[in-house]
Amino acid sequence: MTELTERFTRAVDYARVAHAAQVRKGSGIPYLYHLLGVASLVIEFRGNEDQAIAGLLHDTLEDCGAHHEPIIRKEFGDTVADIVLACTDGTAEGKGEHTTPEAKKRDWLARKHAYLAHLTQASGQVLLVSGCDKLHNARAIVQDLEDPAVGTKVFERFTGDREGTLSYYQSLCEIFLQRETASAPVLDAVVARMHDLAGETQRMALHARA
């Protein structure tokens, strides 16, 4: 059983304040919803408190700025900070340097390719948190794909667009399955549903290239 202490409570509040002005893409839902969801999945897949806290804070550097890293390290310890760093594929400052759609797309592709390569060597602690993050995101995409009011328009929210997003999630599945991450079979099923809703031929083509 994962034992949660006051550190977890403090991390919830830290995440709430850090992401206070942010909402999930395409909705007015506070971003904290995603962070709580990832932490809950970490606990569901038997992660420890450090991993659960990292789940709460995994997007802090990416969405709120690199200056949070030393604060997280001081407040929650090296293990948490190291997992957060390992789950970060770019900081808010770095993303902000790219202003045109073309530059943003090039940066997105470079960051995602680097992150996928990183996951092949990442520790089990990092893989669990990252896998739970991707699972929660994938479920949100599927939920929108199943909504007649949204459907495939959901991919317009993402820099990688439809093809890039589907390809990225397929690659994530393959790595998590190879690394035997606890959440991998569930993620694979969700991503299969994502491909079915977006177009069966896309998933078949990706498997053919694998």
- Domains in the chain with CATH codes: 6-209 (1.10.3210.10)
pTM here is: 0.91
- Residue 58 near residue 38 (C-beta atoms within 8 A): yes
Three-class SS of residue 23? strand
Examine the pLDDT at 203 and tell me if it is beyond 90.
no
User: How far apart (Å, rounded) are the C-alpha atoms in residues 84 and 78?
Assistant: 10
pLDDT (tens digit, 9 = 90+) per residue, 21-68? 999 887 789 999 999 999 999 999 999 999 999 999 999 999 999 999
How close are the terminal C-alpha atoms of the chain, in Å? 37
Distance of CA 84 to the CA centre of its chain: 11
pLDDT score for 204: 45
pLDDT tens column, 123-161: 999 999 999 999 999 999 999 999 999 999 999 999 999
Separation between Cα atoms, residue 24 and residue 65, nearest integer Å: 17
